[in-house]
């Protein structure tokens, strides 16, 4: 054996030893790989299959649980893994789509309870005129409120506080005057 081939073997040996075993999950009827199968180990690790049904086998496990909504759930023990393919059986009894026709009684009762009054019906018959363009009055009111409304509130609060202080001063002045007269 040549020294060069010996070094190549030494370089490739760790990658072969550390490589994890790849497996594929396949539909048993059509032999098509199944994507997005959730695989759980007994140790709590979760894996999902890629778009081509491939997944890397975990390092240590006793049991694998394969779960997909369109297929029957399958458990595989580590001693049962012989090849590189896991077959899943399609779930024949699973419903793909549910369509409900008809009305619910609750909706009918609510419609009767919320039936508009005769006055409301008359108002609904009148044409609703919505002016075209921007509402200038609403914009002006909004600008006034945002620019001057807060200042006005502060001014009114100061005014009330000042009135209260002046009232107290007047009361104290009256007491003082009454004390001076005596």
* Collapsed DSSP state (helix, strand, coil) of residue 37: coil
Q: What is the pLDDT of residue 54?
A: 94
Q: Per-residue b/e over 65-87, b at no fewer than 16 CB within 10 Å?
A: ebebeebeebeeeeeeeeeeebb
Q: What would the two tokens of residue 71 be?
A: 């297929």
pLDDT at 128: 66
- Between 118 and 126, the higher pLDDT residue: 118
Model confidence pLDDT, tens digit, residues 4-43:
676 666 666 555 444 578 999 999 989 999 999 999 998 8
Domain count, the chain: 2
Q: Are 22 and 52 in contact (CB under 8 A)?
A: no
Task: Note down the domain range covering 58.
Answer: 3-88
Is 159 a domain residue?
yes
Residues 8, 84: one domain?
yes
Q: Is residue 144 part of a domain?
A: yes
Full-model pTM: 0.44
Q: Is residue 50 part of a domain?
A: yes
84 & 138 share domain: no
Task: Report the pLDDT value the prediction gives residue 3, as an integer from 0 to 100.
Answer: 65
Give pLDDT tens digits for 68-82: 988 999 999 988 888
Q: How many CA atoms lie within 13 A of 157 on its CB side?
A: 6
9 and 81 both lie in a single domain: yes
Claim to verify: residue 17 and residue 71 sit in the same structural domain? yes
């Amino acid at each position: 054996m040549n020294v060069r081939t010996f070094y190549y073997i030494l370089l490739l040996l760790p990658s072969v030893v550390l490589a994890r075993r790849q497996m594929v999950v396949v539909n048993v009827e059509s032999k098509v790989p199944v994507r997005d199968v959730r695989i759980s180990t007994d140790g709590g690790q979760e894996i999902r299959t890629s778009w081509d049904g491939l997944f890397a086998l975990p390092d240590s496990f006793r049991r694998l649980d394969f779960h997909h909504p369109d297929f029957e759930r399958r458990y595989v023990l580590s001693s049962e893994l012989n090849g590189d393919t896991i077959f899943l059986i399609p779930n024949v009894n699973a419903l793909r789509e549910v369509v409900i026709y008809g009305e619910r009684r609750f909706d009918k009762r609510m419609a009767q309870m919320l039936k508009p009054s005769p006055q409301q019906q008359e108002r609904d018959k009148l044409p609703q005129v919505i002016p075209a363009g921007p509402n200038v009055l609403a914009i002006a009111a909004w600008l006034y409120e945002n620019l001057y409304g807060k200042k006005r509130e502060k001014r009114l609060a100061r005014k009330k506080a000042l009135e209260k202080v002046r009232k107290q001063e007047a009361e104290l002045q009256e007491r003082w005057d009454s004390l001076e007269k005596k």
